[in-house]
Structure 1
Amino acid sequence: MKKGDNITIKIEKLVFGGEGLGHYDGFTFFVPMSVPGDEVEAEIISLKKDYGRALIKKIIKPSEDRIAGMDKISFEDFQGCDYAMIKYDKQLEYKSSILLETIKKIGKINDEINFEGIIGADNITNYRNKVSEPFAKKDGKIITGFYQKKSHDVFEVENNMLRSKIADKVVNELLEKLNEGDFTVYNEVNKSGFLRYLLVRNNSRNEVMITVVINKTTQLKKLRTVLLGLTEKYKEIVSVYISLKSDEGNYVLGNEHKLIYGSEYLEEELDGIKFKIYPDSFFQINSEQTIKLYNKAMEYLGDSEDKRIVDAFSGTGTLGMLVSKTARKVYCIESMESSVISAKHTAAENNIKNVRFKIGKVENKLPEILKNTKMDGIIFDPPRKGIDENTLKSIGKHGIERIVYISCNPSTLARDVKILTDLGYRLEKLAAVDMFPQTHHIEAVSLFLKN
């Protein structure tokens, strides 16, 4: 076998990351956009010592789990959604099995896991309340879209299945006006050009915030005119920012955001608490599923009446403030200062007085809190890299009885399961919430109890 060869392969299973796995001549291949049960003709694109990767050229026999009539085969065909070719009930089944397999294998768990299942979504398209897309120029036309896999080449989709419907309208109208205005687009190679990224957020009332990220101010006046004109057509637009980003960091926003129209924030309400969302605020992108996720987390936390709770990696303090309704005191730890400022405003305006906010890294602030105050429970909602091992050890040392762990990455959750098990905790319950239908992403909620 060599790169460029075509092979016929039967897909046996899905693995975390969204690719199908099959064997050819006893050799393992990973095939993107494939479904277990597919028989495909695929072209080998890379070969390693123990495995290879191949791209579908033709579906010879489709899986029963593949959406009927679908002959599309590429990541771009499905608008960057790597599970969109799979029937939704099967998406949930595959995510559940991948989560359990990952936890058992990496977490070294031999016993049966008390898995309570996955909570599916009622709306499986147009559910995102935030989109962040790079600008690009294709055939002389300004577009926004997704990066192709393993590249920075942007592709545009005709009908975006993930953007909210109001965001879709606003983005399409804005692109039309930008193309009429002869704007330049940022070029990563020579660091020239004007437009870099477009961020559109909306709340459950369909109020919209637009943030346009630019490289320099040369065409700023013209851009302001376009954006203000957009607000006259769409009354749903209540906030418009311009963000200047002249460096090469991986983050989207620049260091300076200038409000040019309307309110400084969007307001979202969860369980009677009103939250302010700014351009750089962290807020879950699927509002309907967020409520289900947080309800499950609070169920696992149990009776918090008169108890002291830590909300680590708290973002804008959403979950911590929901818990504060019954808890004696909640300590929220977050490293992003703007999120903490937003959380403090939310607490003040909702007359929440039993929450304390700590700005800093969890690995630094949590040991300080545990040293000075006895805590009854901790909620973790870390980024994809999971939790620092020393942080987990500090919990074990202080004998915290109850840990609720929300994870967006089964691999790092599984790693931390092993650490917590070695520290004398047991994985009592595990559930999943499908925050991102049509994609391979898996959100899990787990409960750990001290043995």
Structure 2
Amino acid sequence: MVRKKEIIELKIEKIVNGGEGLGYYNEFAIFVPMSVPGDILKVKIISVKKSYARGLIEEIIKPGEERIEDTSKITFEDFQGCDFGMLKYEAQLKYKQLMVKDVMSRIGKNENIVVYNTLGSEDPYHYRNKIIEPFAKDKDKIITGFYQRKSHDVFEVDENILNSKLGNKIIEELKIILNREKVSVYDENTHTGILRNIMVRTNSKNQAMVVLIINANKVEKRYKDILMELKNKIEEISSLYISLNNKKTNVALGDKNIFIWGEKTLTEEINGIHFNISPTSFFQINRAQTIKLYNYAISLFDNIENKIIVDAYSGTGTIAMLLSKKAKTIYAIEVIESATKDGEKTACENGIDNIKFINGTVEDKLNDLIKNNIKIDSIIFDPPRKGIDEQSLHAVANIGIKEMIYISCNPSTFARDSEILQSLGYKIDAIQPVDMFPGTSHTEVVGRFYK
């Protein structure tokens, strides 16, 4: 047993689901974030439970072989909030595969499933096409950055290694202007001050949309002038917005996003289909890996030509539009009305006429399709982190859909749902992890269930 604030010497044995290292001190489990198997560490205990404790690295006595060369970096903040940043990239991919195997065995009750090597990124840096950074004051200087772990204290970094290089350039230039103009920074405790967040979206054409998020109920000329000066200094900026958010909330964007200058949307292309991206649009953060993920998922369909496919949790219809090139008809079901409308608009602009967009819940609208005698050959799920509603899984089984492709951003809920599907008579032979977020412990997975 250990005591809080005690400093112990610990060897890390493995990385567990969630990304923390695990070691044993007198057979008592100690979880340590930012640690690597093989590390010998001095660890300060920060919390003690009945069967385990958690600690933070005080010193690296001897680094594990898979730790990056710079051993001066030991904290979450040192790695700019990247909880896998301490691992060499090949090791990141290895441990993501092992974490998927672990949850499929423990939660999915499937020890025999094949988990392929994680599909990695050609460049694990500067892949984010969207970033939102909060403003803060450091002494008298306006900064942006990341929240420290389990707090709302902002820390600044020299370079955001995951943000696009253009995004970093824009934020740095904006801070120079804001400091010169001495604009006030929002204080969430007193609900005073102006600057809340900066959002930058970029595309593969090296164009940028800038959204300045402020605590106000109207746009004053001063803030328009600041953005216009920024635009004049950085020619890649193609779109400017100010978002008004005067609510006491942790949600970044306000309800009113005021268009200031340029194009109203950024355009992005995936497999020849053009998408319009507004400040509120959902679009995958990592375009290069998204293409790999979606192409792989679509390749899993058996004899896709002439099939009628349901795209469940379709969002703005990205997968549906990629499927439309090969399948006969797609029914895209999405509960958020604005996303459905965005999908309809994009399909129209791309001349796609074999997608039927349906607004509503998956369980309700699936049943409606069946009542209308629509023969569904296959279904593809890409749900939020909480996974698929169990009622929807039973509906799929009851309808008799024989093939299901499941994309998940949360291997734990994928494993939970896979156990339910297997109890309903479905089989899954293999899973493909895809590294959508290098530098972090997050993993996307995709697999094919069949009867």
TM-score class normalised by the smaller sequence: over 0.9
- SS of residue matched to 1:82: coil
Q: Decide whether aligned partners of structure 1 residues 144 and 365 sit closer, same or farther in structure 2, where only a CA change above 3 A counts.
A: farther
1:294 corresponds to which residue? Answer: 294
Question: Counterpart of 2:44?
Answer: 43
Query: Is 1:146–2:140 an aligned residue pair?
Result: no
Cα distance, 1:153 vs structure 2? 1.2
Distance 1:230 1:303 in 2: 51
Contact 2:60 2:71 in 1 (8 A): no
Match for 2:116: what amino acid?
A: E
The answer to whether the 8 A contact 1:4-1:44 is kept is: yes
Q: Is the 8 A contact 2:10 2:43 kept in 1?
A: yes
Q: Does 1:176 align with 2:190?
A: no
- Superposition pairs of residues 56-67 of structure 1, within 5 angstroms: 56-67=57-68
Tell me the residue number matched to 2:214.
Answer: 214
- Most deviating of 212-221 and 288-297: 212-221
Distance of 2:141 and 2:116 partners within structure 1: 49
CA distances 1:199-229 after superposition (whole Å, capped 9, x unpaired): 1111100110111211214773211111011
SS of structure 1 residue aligned to 2:205: coil
Tell me: CA distance 1:371–1:179, structure 2 relative to 1, closer, same or farther (3 Å).
farther
Q: Contact 2:133–2:198 at 8 Å: present in 1 too?
A: yes
Deviation per CA, 1:67-101: give whole Å up to 9, x if none.
12322100111111111111111110010001111
Q: Tell me if structure 1 keeps the 8 A contact 2:4–2:46.
A: yes
Where do residues 240-259 of structure 1 align in structure 2 (5 Å cutoff)?
A: 240-259=240-259
Residue 54 of structure 2 aligns with which residue? 53
Q: 1:215 to 1:206 in 2, by over 3 A?
A: same
134-143 or 210-219: bigger deviation: 210-219
Cα root mean square deviation, aligned: 1.4
Partner secondary structure for residue 92 of structure 2? helix
SS in 2 for 1:412: helix
Aligned to 2:311: 311
Alignment-mate amino acid for residue 392 of structure 1: L
Matched, 1:366 2:366: yes
Q: Which residue of 1 aligns with 2:114?
A: 114
Report the alpha carbon displacement of residue 341 of structure 1 after superposing the two structures with TM. Answer: 2.0
SS at match of 2:299: helix
Q: Distance in 2 between matches of 1:139 and 1:218?
A: 28
CA distance in 2, matches of 1:220, 1:24: 59
1:278-331 per-position Cα deviation (integer Å, ceiling 9, x unaligned): 111111111111110011110112322111111112122111101011111111
The residue identity in structure 2 corresponding to 1:358 is I
Is the Cα–Cα contact under 8 Å of residues 219 and 242 in structure 2 kept in the other structure? Answer: no
Is the contact made by 2:12 and 2:22 (CA closer than 8 Å) also made in structure 1? yes
- What is aligned with 1:406? 407
Instruction: Say if 1:135 and 1:195, in contact at 8 Å, map to a contact too.
Output: yes
Structure 2 distance, partners of 1:20, 1:97, is: 13
Is the Cα–Cα contact under 8 Å of residues 40 and 60 in structure 1 kept in the other structure?
A: yes
Give distance in 1, aligned partners of 2:369 and 2:191.
Answer: 45
Instruction: Determine if the alignment matches structure 1 residue 348 to structure 2 residue 378.
Output: no
1:149 offset after TM fit, Å?
A: 1.0
Tell me, in whole angstroms, the C-alpha distance in 2 between the residues paired with 1:16 and 1:265.
38
Cα distance change of structure 1 residues 263 and 396 upon mapping to structure 2, 3 Å threshold:
same
**2:383 equivalent in structure 1:** 382
CA distance in 1, matches of 2:209, 2:363: 33
Kindly state the Cα deviation for residue 250 of structure 1 after the two structures are TM-superposed. Answer: 4.0
- Equivalent pair of 2:311/2:331 in contact (CA under 8 Å): yes
**Could you tell me how far apart the structure 2 residues matched to 1:175 and 1:300 are?**
47
Partner of 1:23: 24
Alignment partner of 1:167 is 2:167: yes
In structure 2, the partner of 1:5 is 6
Q: CA deviation at 1:249?
A: 4.0
Moved more, 132-141 or 223-232: 132-141
Amino acid at match of 1:328: K
The aligned amino acid for 1:448 is: F
1:120 to 1:181, Cα distance in 2 relative to 1, 3 A: same
Q: Secondary structure at the match of 1:321?
A: helix
Aligned CA distance change for structure 1 residues 370 and 210 (closer, same or farther; 3 Å): farther
TM-superposition CA deviations, 1:321-347 (whole Å, max 9, x none): 010111111111222333222211111
Task: State the alpha-carbon separation in 2 of the partners of residues 167 and 426 from structure 1.
Answer: 44
Q: How many residues align?
A: 449
- The TM-score with structure 2 as length reference comes to 0.97
- Aligned residue for 2:117, secondary structure, equals strand
What stretches of structure 1 of length at least 5 have no aligned partner?
none
Partner of 2:331: 331
Runs of 4+ in 1 over 6 A off after TM superposition: none
Are the counterparts in 1 of residues 100 and 115 from structure 2 also a CA contact under 8 Å?
A: no
| 1:64–1:344 distance in 2 versus 1, CA, 3 Å | same
Name the aligned partner's letter for residue 234 of structure 1: I
Q: Give the deviation of 1:253 after TM superposition.
A: 1.3
User: Letter of the aligned partner of 1:198 in structure 2?
Assistant: I
Residues 368, 186 of structure 1: alpha-carbon distance in 2 compared, 3 angstrom cutoff: farther
Task: Find the residue that maps to 1:98 and give its secondary structure.
Answer: helix
Q: Distance in 2 between matches of 1:52 and 1:116?
A: 32
Q: Quick one: which amino acid aligns to residue 315 of structure 1?
A: G
Which residue identity lines up with residue 345 of structure 2 in the other structure? H
Q: Which residue matches 2:225?
A: 225
Deviations 1:128-156 (A, max 9, x none): 11111211112122111111111111111
Matched, 1:392 2:403: no
In 1, Cα distance between the equivalents of 2:65 and 2:277? 42
The amino acid of 1:405's aligned partner reads Y
Amino acid at match of 1:261: W
> How has the CA–CA distance of structure 1 residues 287 and 310 changed in structure 2, closer, same or farther, with 3 Å as cutoff?
same
Query: Following the alignment from structure 1 to structure 2, what is the Cα–Cα distance between the partners of residues 204 and 338?
Result: 25
Corresponding position of 1:285: 285
Corresponding residue for 1:443?
Answer: 444
239-248 or 385-394: bigger deviation? 239-248
Structure 1 residue 58 displacement after superposition? 0.1
In the alignment, what sits opposite 2:422?
421
Contact 2:217–2:245 (Cα < 8 Å) also in 1: no
The question of whether the paired residues in 2 share the 8 Å contact of 1:241 and 1:260 is answered with yes
Greater alpha carbon shift after TM alignment, 334-343 vs 84-93: 334-343
